[in-house]
Structure 1
Amino acid sequence: MSRVGFIGTGHIAAPIARLLARKGHEIYVTERNATVSAALKVDINATVGDPQSVIDQSDVVFLCLRPQAALDVLEPLSFRPDHRIVSVMASVSEADLRSLCTPAEDFVQTIPLGFLENGGCPMAAFGNDQLLANLVSPENPVVKVANEASLNAHFAICAMVPGVLDLLATGSKWLAEQTGDADGAEFYTTQLIAGFLASTEKDRAGRLAAERDALATDGTLSLQMTQALQTDKAHKALRDALTAIGKRLET
């Protein structure tokens, strides 16, 4: 098992730390978020310290800072050549990581979401994907990508998740207005989508469109819905947003 440190302890770092502690790793965290780090100390016996002490005690270092804070936090710190670095910071390039973490040379950049603690979170990985897989799989599948541009595209898709949740919240609210039961409406909406996705065939390109077409046949309510979304340019808005996010990550 490894000694794993977290620089930045927030809503992304905490579930990773809990997963790794459950798998038997020793956890070291900074006090950048005092509430979260205190809870991890109690819940998983994490050792809390300043950033340099966390790095000094760790074999693997997760960088979980907001990109705009990365330079100020990391530049004063000293890394070792044998450190293995996992970055979850969007828009911080490999070149910047190598400069900030020199002389460390073993890197992987990835995109976690909080539910990885419970498994089933696909994690795009650029760099040493095996390093990441050794830590988070088999609970969470690691998807190797070829370059930073591909990684940034996956970051953009992750940003789509709250957009989809926003649409589901709108649908759930509409249902609650019809039924007078907000709790039941949200339960039905979330279970409907979760159950459907869980039952569909995995790992086959085109399956989403195929499932859509199987439901949205001539004269159906499903076809009325898909056509309305197309007519109102919901798909164009999504593609435009993804493209804009991709360009933002390039800068």
Structure 2
Amino acid sequence: MSRIGFIGTGHIAAPIARLMAAKGHEISVTERNAEVSAALKAELGVTIAPPQAVIDASDIVFLCLRPHIAAEVLAPLTFRADQQVVSVMAAVSAEDLAKLCAPASDFVQTIPLGFLQSGGCPMAAFGKDRLLAELFEPENPVVKVADEAALNAHFAICAMVPGILDLMATGAEWLGDVTGDADGAEFYTTQLMAGFLAAMEKGTAGRLAQERDALATEGTLSLQMTGTLIEQGAHEALRAALGAIGKRLEN
């Protein structure tokens, strides 16, 4: 088992720490989010320490900082050449990581979401993907990407998740208004989507479109829905948002 440290302890770091602790690793965290770090100590018995002490005590360091404060937090710290570094920070390049974490040079950048604690979260990986596989598989599949541009595109797709949730919330609200049962409406909406996606065959390009077309046949309510979304520009809006996020990540 490894000694794993977390620089930054927020909504992404916490489920990773829980999963790593469940796998038997020794965990230390910073107190950047005092409430979360205290909860992890009470729940898992993790060590809370200043950032440099966390680095000194760790074989593997997870960087879970907001990108705009990464340089400020990391620049004063000293890493070791033998340490492995996992960055979950969008828009912090491999070049920047190499400068901020020198002499450490063993990096992997990835994109986790909080549900990885339960399994089933795909993790795009640029860099040492084998480290992520050792830590997170088989519960969470690791998807190796060719370069940072591809990684950033995967970051953009992760940002699509709250967008889809936003649409689902609107649908559930509409259903609740019609039925008068807001709780039942949200349950039905979430279970409908979760059940359908869980039942889909995975791993082949075009599967989403095939499933859409199987439902949206001539004269159906499904075709009315997909047609209206096209007419109202929903797809153009999504592509525009993804493109803008991709450009933001390049800067």
TM range (shorter): over 0.9
- CA distance, structure 2, for counterparts of residue 177 and residue 74 of structure 1: 49
Which residue does 1:203 correspond to in 2?
A: 203
- CA distance, structure 1, for counterparts of residue 39 and residue 87 of structure 2: 23
Which residue does 1:51 correspond to in 2?
A: 51
What pairs with 1:37-186 in structure 2 (closer than 5 Å)? 37-186=37-186
RMSD: 0.3
- CA distance, structure 2, for counterparts of residue 2 and residue 136 of structure 1: 13
2:137 partner letter: S
SS at match of 1:91: coil
How far residue 71 of structure 1 moved from its aligned partner, in angstroms, is 0.4
- Size of the alignment, in residue pairs? 251
2:150 partner letter: S
Deviation string, structure 1 residues 71-127 (Cα, Å, up to 9, x no partner)? 000000000000000000000000000000000011000000000011000000000
SS at match of 2:91: coil
SS at match of 1:219: coil
Q: Which runs of 4+ in 1 moved over 3 A?
A: none
How far residue 188 of structure 1 moved from its aligned partner, in angstroms, is 0.3
SS at match of 2:161: helix
1:162 partner letter: P
2:32 partner letter: R
Which residue does 2:36 correspond to in 1?
A: 36
Identical-pair percentage: 74
SS at match of 1:86: strand
- CA distance, structure 1, for counterparts of residue 133 and residue 20 of structure 2: 12
1:104 partner letter: A
Normalising by structure 1, report the TM-score. 1.00
How far residue 140 of structure 1 moved from its aligned partner, in angstroms, is 0.4
- CA distance, structure 1, for counterparts of residue 42 and residue 135 of structure 2: 22
What pairs with 1:6-25 in structure 2 (closer than 5 Å)? 6-25=6-25
1:29 partner letter: V
Which runs of no fewer than 5 residues in structure 2 stay unpaired?
A: none
- CA distance, structure 1, for counterparts of residue 101 and residue 38 of structure 2: 26
SS at match of 1:28: strand
How far residue 213 of structure 1 moved from its aligned partner, in angstroms, is 0.2
- CA distance, structure 2, for counterparts of residue 31 and residue 19 of structure 1: 19
How far residue 135 of structure 1 moved from its aligned partner, in angstroms, is 0.7
- CA distance, structure 2, for counterparts of residue 220 and residue 88 of structure 1: 43
How far residue 229 of structure 1 moved from its aligned partner, in angstroms, is 0.1
Deviation string, structure 1 residues 213-242 (Cα, Å, up to 9, x no partner)? 000000000000000000000000000000
How far residue 203 of structure 1 moved from its aligned partner, in angstroms, is 0.3
SS at match of 1:76: coil
Normalising by structure 2, report the TM-score. 1.00
